[in-house]
Structure 1
Amino acid sequence: MKNTYFTPGPAELYPTFYQHLQRALDEQIGSISHRSQRFRDIYQFADEQLRVLLSIPKSHGIFFTGSASEVWERIILNCVEHESFHLVNGSFSQKFYDYANALQKHAHLQEKPFGEGFDAADIDVPEYAELVCLTHNETSSGVQMRTSEIHKLKRKYPKKLFCVDIVSSAPYPDLDFNLIDSAFFSVQKAFGMPAGLGVWISNQSCLEKAEYLLQNDALTIGAHHTLPTLWKHYKTFETPATPNVLYIYLLGKIAEDFNRIGIDTIRKQTEEKARMLYKFLETSADYEPFVKQERHRSQTVVVANTTKPSPDVIANAKAANMIVGSGYGKLKESQIRIANFPAVSIEQTELLIDQLKK
C-alpha cells in the first residue's frame, strides 16, 4: 500500500505530478537547451501561471534558483548595503538572520520564543534598516504571521524593502505584492514536487537597490544569480546559467492545475483541513496544539505536543502507511508536525485523525 506523506517537506507529491513527469520524459524536456525557444516558452508559461495563482503584478520578476535557502543569501547581498532587520521566532527565521551576519551585514533582531507569533503592533523597525525580513510560516514551530499584519507593517514603513519567506505556505498566503517587494519559496512543500528548485519573486525597487550597490567597488552583490543578471535574462525568459528545466516545466503544469481548481478553493480547503486538525488536538487527551494563540497558528504546518514519545506516535502512523513529521530540533521527541498541503485531501486528513486517535 502506498504511503501518504504528511511531512512538511519533502512532502506528498501532488497527484498530477506523475502524469506531468511522464509527459516531460516523453517530450525529452530534460535534454532541451536553456537557450532554445522551447525553454523560453516553458519559462513564460510557468511565469504566467504563477502570476495568476499568486496575483503577482507586472512590476515583479519571477526568477528560478537552486533552492529557497539560496535566496536568503541573494536578497541580503543584493538589497542590503549596511543593515537588515529580522523577525525571529523559529529555526528558519533564525537562519535568515544568520545569513545576514555571515555576509557581514549589521543584522538587527527582534525575537519571540519558539512557538509564539508576531503582530504588527509588536514591531519597531530600526531607523536605518534597509530590508525587513519576515517569515510568513515558520516551518519549525508551526507559527504563521497573518498577511494582514505583514501589510499593516509595510504601510507603517513604506520606504523600506520587505522580503517574505513563504517557503512552507505558498500558494496559501494572500500577499499583496503591490506592498511586498520580494518573496520566495521552494517546490518540495505545498507545490507537491521533489526538492530542487527555488522561486524568487522580486520587484523593481529591489533591482534598483542592487544596481546602486553594484556601483560601490567596496561591496559585492555576488558572482552568481545577482538581481541585475537575473532581470537581464528574464526579459527574454532565459536564465544566466543552465537551470532545472524539467522542474520549471513541472512547476508550470502544477500551477496550472491549481489555477483550474482556483486559489480561493485551495485556501478554503486548506483552512477546513486545519480546522479539523486543530479541533482534534484541542479535544484529545493525548495531544495539544503547540501554538497557543489561535491567530498565530499555521494553516499549513500543524505542530502538536504529544503525551507519548513522538517517535512511537510516528511509528504507529507509519505502520498504517501515514508518514508524519517529527518535532524540530530539541522538540523532536515530544512533538509531531503535520503538513497541510494541497496534495493531501480532506479524506486523507480524516484518516490521519482516526489513526492518531488510536
Structure 2
Amino acid sequence: MNPKINFTPGPSQLYFTVEDHVRAAFRDGIPSISHRSKQYEAIYKKAADGLRTLLGLPANYHVLFTGSANEIWERIVQNLVEESSLHFVNGSFSKRFFEIAQLLNKKPIKIEVPMGQGFNSSVVVPAGVELIGVTHNETSTGVCQPPEFIYNLRAQRPDALIAVDAVSSLPYPDFDYNKVDSVFFSVQKGFGLPAGLGVWLVNDRCIAKAEQLLAKGISIGSFHSIPSLYTHALKNQNPETPNVLGIYLLAEVVDDMIRRGISTIRKETEYKATLLYQALENHSLLKPFVQDKSLRSKTVIVADCGEHTEKITQLLISKGMQPGDGYGSFKKTQLRFANFPTHSKEQYELLVDTLAN
C-alpha cells in the first residue's frame, strides 16, 4: 500500500495542483523548449515575479536558480567569504553549512548548542566575520529561530552579510528582507515540487561582495558564480541549460499560492502546527522533541517516540499516512511531520485523530 498523504519533510507531498501543471507542461512541450527562447524567458520572469509578490521581496533582491540548496551553500561560501564566516550550529544541516566552509579552505567559526536547542539574543557575534550563516528552520530537529534573533545579528554587525537557510520554512516566514542579504530554499519541501531546483535570493550587497572578491583575483566559481548568475538573470536566463520544467512548475505553483493568499497559508500553517503540538503534549507515549515552545518549528514538527516509533509508523501507514523518519542518530526514536502549504487542515485533523487512537 502506498500512503496517500506524505508527511516526510522532503521530498514531501506534492502541491495539490502540480499534477495538472505537469500535464499542461507536457501538452505544451515545456520540458524540451530552448532555454535561450523567449518562451523560457517568460517562464523565468513569471517565477521570479511571482516569488517577489508572494514573499514580499524588495527591489534590490534578485532571484537566481541553481541545482539544489546544497549547491547554494557552496556558492555562498565561494562568493561571499574571503577569509572568515560565522555559523550557528544546532543540527545536522546547520553543521553541514559550517563544514562546507571548512572544505573550501575558509576559516569558519561556529557557535554550537545541542540538538533540540536554539540560540538566545545574548549571543555575541565576533568581530571580523564577513558572513553570518543562520539556519532558520533546522530540518533535522524541528528547531526554528525567531526572525528577531536574525535581525539582532544585523544590529550587532551591520557590515557582515547574513545568509539564511530557509529550506524547510518558506513560504511560511514573513521575513524582513531588508535585514538579511541572502535567503535560499529548495522546492521539494514547502513549495511541494519534485526535487532538483534550488532558489537563491540575493541582494545588491551580495553582488558587490562577489565582484570585490573577483576583482582581487580570488576564485568564486565559474558558471554559477553570483556575477554570472546575476548577469544572466537580468535577461531572465541561466548560464547553462536549467531545470526548465522545475522552474515552470514553480512559477505555476507560486501563482496558485498568490491566489490562495500568503496570509491564509500562514494562518493555516499555525492552526495545523497547534493541533499536532497539542496532540503530542497530551499523548501518553509521544512528546514534542523541542522543549522550548518559542523555538518549535511550525513547518517541521518532531515527535519523540522512543521505543514506540516503529509501532506508530506502522499505524500511520496503515491509515494511508507516511511520517518522516527521525534524522541521523534519532532515526529510530523520533518521527518528523512536514506541515507545508499542500497539507490540508483535514489531513492534519486525520493525523491527530489517528495518533489519539
Specify the TM-score bucket, using the shorter chain as the normaliser. over 0.9
* Structure 2 residue 214 is matched with structure 1 residue 214: yes
Partner of 2:6: 5
Partner of 2:247: 248
Partner of 1:141: 141
Inter-partner Cα distance in structure 2 for 1:182 and 1:205 = 9
Partner of 2:118: 117
Note if contact 1:137-1:166 (Cα within 8 Å) is conserved in structure 2.
yes
Partner of 1:40: 41
Partner of 1:314: 313
Please tell me the root mean square deviation across aligned C-alpha atoms, in Å: 1.0
Note if contact 2:115-2:141 (Cα within 8 Å) is conserved in structure 1.
yes
Q: What secondary structure sits across from 2:247 in the alignment?
A: helix
TM-superposed deviation, 1:120: 2.6
Number of matched pairs: 356
1:215-246 Cα shifts (integer Å, max 9, x gaps): 223x2101230000011111110110100011
TM-superposed deviation, 1:174: 0.9
TM-superposed deviation, 1:168: 0.3
Partner of 1:323: 322
Partner of 1:188: 188
User: Bigger shift: 300-309 or 79-88?
Assistant: 300-309
Partner of 1:20: 21
- The two structures have a TM-score, normalised by structure 2, of 0.98
Q: What secondary structure sits across from 1:309 in the alignment?
A: helix
Q: What secondary structure sits across from 1:278 in the alignment?
A: helix
TM-superposed deviation, 1:155: 2.1
Q: What secondary structure sits across from 2:340 in the alignment?
A: coil
TM-superposed deviation, 1:179: 1.3
Inter-partner Cα distance in structure 2 for 1:346 and 1:89 = 30
Partner of 1:268: 267
Indicate how the Cα distance of structure 1 residues 266 and 162 shifts in structure 2: closer, same or farther if over 3 A, else same: same
Inter-partner Cα distance in structure 1 for 2:155 and 2:65 = 28
Inter-partner Cα distance in structure 2 for 1:345 and 1:33 = 36
What amino acid does structure 2 have at the position aligned with 1:47? Answer: A
Inter-partner Cα distance in structure 2 for 1:237 and 1:200 = 14
1:16-73 Cα shifts (integer Å, max 9, x gaps): 0111111011000001001000000000000111001111111011000000110000
Note if contact 2:306-2:332 (Cα within 8 Å) is conserved in structure 1.
no
User: Bigger shift: 151-160 or 141-150?
Assistant: 151-160
TM-superposed deviation, 1:178: 1.1
Q: What secondary structure sits across from 1:349 in the alignment?
A: helix
Note if contact 2:16-2:342 (Cα within 8 Å) is conserved in structure 1.
yes
What amino acid does structure 1 have at the position aligned with 2:159? Answer: K
Partner of 2:172: 172
Note if contact 1:143-1:298 (Cα within 8 Å) is conserved in structure 2.
yes
What amino acid does structure 2 have at the position aligned with 1:304? Answer: A
* Structure 2 residue 62 is matched with structure 1 residue 61: yes
Partner of 1:91: 92
TM-superposed deviation, 1:307: 4.1
Partner of 2:199: 199
Note if contact 2:4-2:320 (Cα within 8 Å) is conserved in structure 1.
yes
Uncovered stretches (5+) of structure 2, i.e. residues with no partner: none
Note if contact 2:3-2:322 (Cα within 8 Å) is conserved in structure 1.
no
Uncovered stretches (5+) of structure 1, i.e. residues with no partner: none
Note if contact 1:100-1:106 (Cα within 8 Å) is conserved in structure 2.
yes
Counting only pairs closer than 5 Å after superposition, residues 123-134 of structure 1 correspond to structure 2 as 123-134=123-134
What amino acid does structure 1 have at the position aligned with 2:324? Answer: G
TM-superposed deviation, 1:357: 2.1
TM-superposed deviation, 1:2: 5.5
TM-superposed deviation, 1:340: 0.5
Note if contact 2:285-2:308 (Cα within 8 Å) is conserved in structure 1.
no
Partner of 1:80: 81
Q: What secondary structure sits across from 1:120 in the alignment?
A: coil
Note if contact 1:310-1:332 (Cα within 8 Å) is conserved in structure 2.
no
User: Bigger shift: 41-50 or 303-312?
Assistant: 303-312
Inter-partner Cα distance in structure 2 for 1:154 and 1:348 = 39
What amino acid does structure 2 have at the position aligned with 1:315? Answer: Q
What amino acid does structure 2 have at the position aligned with 1:116? Answer: Q
TM-superposed deviation, 1:147: 1.1
TM-superposed deviation, 1:124: 1.3
TM-superposed deviation, 1:154: 1.3
What amino acid does structure 2 have at the position aligned with 1:182? Answer: S
Aligned-residue sequence identity (percent) comes to 47
Q: What secondary structure sits across from 2:85 in the alignment?
A: strand
- 4+ residue runs over 4 A deviation: none
